[in-house]
């Protein structure tokens, strides 16, 4: 079972934006896509650019350094089938956003039911 760590309250990550959090020495980007939250590795595969600082268009974040793009729900680049960043399990408990560094299988909402991301209540 994954060890979830509280990273923020839901209101600290506005809709359409991302924030970077350090968990056990690893930078994780957490995004709010219209009330659904996703967690991915913060470093772009190209030159390690900070994805949390990128522009978010729907579920796609664009690296601010050189424009590489990633789907925040899957970690997959829509431009290159061989390029992806790690995704992490995320759940919501009340107002809290929690992330686990274990490999992403399914994120869970605050009621512990499977979902692709943690959904705001």
pLDDT interval class at 48 (50, 70, 90): confident
Number of domains in the chain: 1
* pLDDT, position 118: 59
Three-class DSSP category at 33: strand
User: Does any domain span residue 115?
Assistant: no
pTM given for the model: 0.84
Q: What is the pLDDT of residues 70-118, one digit of tens each?
A: 999 999 999 999 999 999 999 999 999 999 987 554 443 333 333 335 5
Bridge partners of 69? 62
Identify whether 119 is part of a domain: no
Phi-psi region of 48 (alpha: psi -120 to 50; beta: other; left: phi over 0): left
How far apart CA 42 and CA 20 sit, in angstroms, is 7
CATH number, domain containing residue 75: 2.102.10.10
DSSP three-state, residue 51: helix
């Amino acid at each position: 079972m994954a060890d979830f760590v509280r990273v923020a309250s839901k209101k600290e990550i506005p809709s359409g934006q991302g924030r970077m959090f350090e968990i056990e020495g690893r930078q994780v980007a957490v995004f709010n896509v219209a009330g659904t939250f996703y967690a991915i590795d913060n470093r772009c595969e190209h030159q390690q650019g900070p994805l949390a600082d990128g522009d978010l268009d729907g579920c796609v974040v664009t690296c601010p350094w050189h424009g590489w793009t990633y789907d925040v729900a899957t970690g997959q680049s829509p431009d290159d089938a061989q390029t992806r960043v790690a995704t992490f399990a995320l759940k919501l408990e009340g107002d809290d956003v929690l992330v686990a560094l274990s490999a992403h299988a399914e994120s869970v909402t605050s009621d512990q039911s499977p979902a692709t991301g943690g959904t705001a209540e």
